[in-house]
A and B are shown apart, each in its own frame.
Chain A
Amino acid sequence: MLRRLLCTVLLLPTLLCSAASAAEKIVVATNPEWPPMEFLDDEKRIIGYDIDMMNAIAAEVGLETEFRMTAWDGIFAGIAAGNYDVIASAVTITPERQKAFAFSVPYYDVRQIVVLRKGDSAANFEALKGRVIGGQIGTTGIFVAQKSGVDMTIREYDSVGLAMQDLINSRIDAVICDSPVALYYANQKEGFADHLSVAFRTEATESFGFVVQKNRKDLVERLNKGIEAVRAKGIEAELIRKWMGD
């Protein structure tokens, strides 16, 4: 008992210190399975558009970032529980998500793209009737496929990479995901680009935002200020050139 008390007394200053220095540091959750937005390089570092963007924003408003690898399935539960301060992981702003979390201003616009094997073709969801479409669980691609009302079998994978792999292996007929990711797999990624081609993209655009806990309005404002500054300085355009190639 005495020992435990002693431990607590000794640990208390350390805890307080770490809390004080954490004021300027934010923990950013990301699911590095969504290239080129966020993924791991050969040396297992997290890289990508979102990472560079977040770092640029943080530098503008005097924050320090610590990135944490998180599984996509559960990334929202983690922010609700307060395990990290921000999600920077290509999160589309949707009304449902806005009900549960706070978002920064939009920082990047995408559409949904359906990818097929080379030699296969489809112009819209109707053409995929009765076929199997895959995607990453809990992503807007899956929601768009579900809302299309077309009778397709929808398979929800833990990561988009596994869905792409199954597409190449002919276990499924199509994969739906955000346009940068689809283009990365269909045009760039070694081992995939030779086998895949873009079939069509959806009309509606979606916007990515950084996710923050509902009650952290201060942090949202700070991020918004940072996004504005990054845009004004032309850093954003530079990052788009670097990661999207256009």
Chain B
Amino acid sequence: MRDNEENSLPAGVAPEGKIEVPAGGLVLPDSEKGSLVNAWSLSLVGAVVVLTVLCTVWPDPYLEILCFVPEGLLVTFEVTILSIICAIPLGLITGLGRLSHNRVINLIASTYVEVIRGIPLLVQIFYIYYALAKFLQVSGLTSAVIAISFCYGAYMGEVFRAGIMAIPKGQTEASRSLGFNKVQTMVLVVLPQALRTIVPPVGNECIAMLKDTSLVSVMAMPDLMQYGRSFAAKSYLYFETYTIIALIYLIITLLLSKAVSILESRLNYYDKRK
């Protein structure tokens, strides 16, 4: 049973040990192609130009909308950053738990992943904020961070598991035969190597997380989306408001995806020298 699990690679891992970009995630810009005209720069320049043109040619209402939402952007960032800080360690622990040979730990980690993956994030947010309020009350921000990091912790657990499993078994065997114990082997030998395959998909998850924070507006959290909805509800300018909101989200995620790709190319330093 256990051997079987180890032999079959989890979904998302190609045999060469490269992790494929999960469906629905952003395509990370390929920094190795140095050309100026690629999908990433085209999207960014397009978004910035459209935003600038809209705000200069029709300051009423576009500039007005743009000036209305910055406070919401701060809340969006706050929720995203706190969630990332909580989700990455949670993902690592879950990933290690899923690989553990201890049946109890393995079962707990696997059950957590199965349960959380099977419940939509919106339902989880409602559940933590409104349903659990019967027993314990947490603020909007705390609920948002708990819901998002629990959800993404489960997703990231699978990414960490895949990344660790992609490291050839020989590495562990060599390390153990040189006298490292299990923890040392994992921390000093396996994880540093796994990091290179793990970082791009984890970066992707973080970007997806930023986009999913727009769901917290259902608990009246004043994030970017909530400010947009509030403006639209007051002015009845749905097209104009959501155009601006979409452009802002797009520009932020494009910049973040660039950051992830730079980080990725730094980690692939040794690959390039080959």
Binding site for B on A (CB under 8 A): 73-74, 76-77, 80, 96-97, 100, 134, 137-138, 143, 155-158, 162-163, 165-166, 169-171
Contact = CB atoms under 8 A, between A and B. Distances in A.
Contact of A170 (B137, B222, B232): B137
Given A165-B133, A170-B137, A73 B233 contact: yes
A157 B236 contact: no
Given A137-B229, A156-B220, A156-B230, A96 B235 contact: yes
Interface in B42-93: none
A103 to B, nearest CB: 13
B226 interface: yes
Given A157-B220, A171-B139, A77 B238 contact: yes
B130 A165 contact: yes
Given A80-B236, A96-B236, A155-B220, A169 B229 contact: no
B274 interface: no
Contacts of A171: 133, 137, 139-140
B133 A169 contact: yes
Contacts of B139: 171
Q: Label chain B's interface by main secondary structure.
A: helix
B246 to A, nearest CB: 15
Contacts of A157: 219-220
B218 interface: yes
B74 to A, nearest CB: 15
Contacts of B226: 156
A138 B234 contact: yes
A169 B137 contact: yes
A175 B37 CA distance: 53
Given A156-B220, A157-B220, A137 B137 contact: no
Given A74-B238, A143-B234, A171-B139, 5 more contacts: A100-B236, A156-B220, A158-B218, A158-B220, A162-B130
B217 to A, nearest CB: 8
A70 to B, nearest CB: 14
Interface residues of B, number: 18
Contact of B230 (A80, A137, A166): A137
Contact of A134 (B130, B220, B233): B220
Contacts of A137: 220, 229-230, 233
Contacts of B235: 96
Contacts of A100: 236
22 contacts: A73-B229, A74-B238, A76-B236, A76-B238, A80-B236, A96-B234, A96-B236, A97-B236, A137-B229, A137-B230, A138-B232, A138-B234, A143-B234, A155-B222, A156-B226, A156-B229, A156-B230, A158-B218, A165-B133, A171-B137, A171-B139, A171-B140
Interface string B98-137: 0000000000000000000000000000000010010001
Contacts of B233: 73, 137-138, 156
Contacts of B219: 157
A170 B222 CA distance: 18
Interface string B210-228: 0000000011101000100
Nearest to B218: A158
A96 B235 CA distance: 7
A125 B139 CA distance: 24
A80 B137 CA distance: 40
Contacts of A165: 130, 133
Of B139, B218, B230, most A-chain CB atoms within 10 Å: B230
Given A73-B229, A171-B139, A80 B238 contact: yes
A171 B232 CA distance: 26
Nearest to B143: A171
Nearest to A143: B234
Nearest to A168: B133
B67 to A, nearest CB: 16
Contacts of A77: 232, 236, 238
Nearest to B138: A171
A156 B219 CA distance: 8
Q: Determine which residue in B139, B220, B236 has the highest number of CB atoms from chain A within 10 A of its CB, and name it.
A: B220
A245 to B, nearest CB: 29
Interface in B168-222: 218-220, 222
A170 B220 CA distance: 15
Nearest to B137: A169
A15 B117 CA distance: 43
Nearest to A155: B220
B232 to A, nearest CB: 8
Contacts of B137: 169-171
